[in-house]
Amino acid sequence: MLLPGCLAVCRYAGISNERELDSPYLLRALKKRKGIYILNIAFWMYGLLYTLPFVATDKFGLDAIGCCGITEISSVFLWVYYLVNVVFFLFLAYVVSFVFYRKIGRWVKETSSASTLLPHTRDTLKVTRNLQRMIKWMLLVPVVFYYPALGVQAALRLSPGIVDLHTARLFMITVPLPHIMDPIITLIFVKCYRSAFFDKMYWLLSKLNS
């Protein structure tokens, strides 16, 4: 859920001049590889650590519908923690995605209207447009395939039995799809990854046939 926002922020930092950066320290850091590493570490640490209170209180494991996750939220503290660390960060991720997507769109519009473009700028413009399309898809896929299942899980936590378990399991079938589709979407819209992927596949096939 955080990936589209991170992509939008990093792309805006990459295409902006130093004078255009709204937050010189944060966004300027993302123009360097070290800043990208730090952002990735923060991204993965959030995913790994936000479940710790549920693990510590034995509220994480297989739930009633057979999925691995938060099984029960039985205290006010855990509810507040869940709402802040899941719902709030989900909302924040979409706000960040929207804000920086608009900034990228403004840059694309202004750059496209220029009478002459350097070859490097033209390439950057093409890559940025493709990234915009990719971000759109990455924001849409969870809405269709993941959030309905998340809503069913939340309903079952609030009121066990409100949804038939068989129906709930049908919703859960779609949960892995965003994780499967995101790499495919990346290959479709990002040429360097697509080229590297097909080069690697060609190399593997040539090794198998030799």
Task: Give the model confidence (pLDDT) of 30-73 as tens digits.
Answer: 777 888 888 888 888 887 888 888 888 888 877 777 777 777 77
Q: Which residues contact 124 (CB under 8 A, 6 or more apart)?
A: 15
> Dihedral sign, CA of 152, 70, 141, 181?
negative
Q: Count Cα neighbours of 112 within 13 Å in the Cβ-side half-sphere.
A: 11
Asked if residue 18 has pLDDT above 70, the reply is no
Burial 87-103 (b: 16+ CB within 10 A, else e): eebeeebeebbeebbeb
Rounded Cα distance, 16 and 136, in Å = 21
Residue 135's pLDDT band, with cuts at 50, 70 and 90, is very high
| pLDDT value, residue 21 | 52
Task: Provide the percentage of residues in the chain whose pLDDT is more than 90.
Answer: 8
What is the pTM for the complete model shown?
Answer: 0.78
Task: Assign 133 a pLDDT band (cuts: 50, 70, 90).
Answer: very high
Please, how many CA atoms are within 13 Å of residue 28, restricted to the half-sphere of its CB? 9
Name the pLDDT band for 134 (thresholds 50, 70, 90): very high
CA distance linking residue 118 with residue 106, whole number of Å: 19
What mean pLDDT do residues 6-20 have?
76
| pLDDT band for position 19 (cuts 50, 70, 90) | very low
- The number of beta carbons lying within 10 Å of the beta carbon of residue 144 is 12
24, pLDDT greater than 60: no
Average confidence (pLDDT) over 182-198: 88
What's the length of the chain? 210
Q: Helix 3-15 and helix 33-49: axis angle, to 10°?
A: 170
70 half-sphere exposure, CB direction, 13 A CA radius? 23
Q: Where are the domains of the chain?
A: 3-209
Please give the Cα distance from 101 to 53 (Å, whole number): 34
- pLDDT above 80 for 207: yes
Question: What are the pLDDT digits (tens) for 140-184?
Answer: 998 888 888 888 877 877 777 788 888 888 888 888 888 889 889
- The answer to whether residue 17 scores a pLDDT higher than 70 is no
CATH 1.20.1070, domain 3-209, yes or no: yes
- Name the percent of the chain lying above pLDDT 70: 94
- DSSP character string of 156-175: HHHSTTSS-HHHHHHHHTTT
Let me know: does 135 contact 147? Beta carbons within 8 Å. Answer: no
Least confident of 110-119, 131-140, 186-195: 110-119
Average pLDDT, the chain: 83
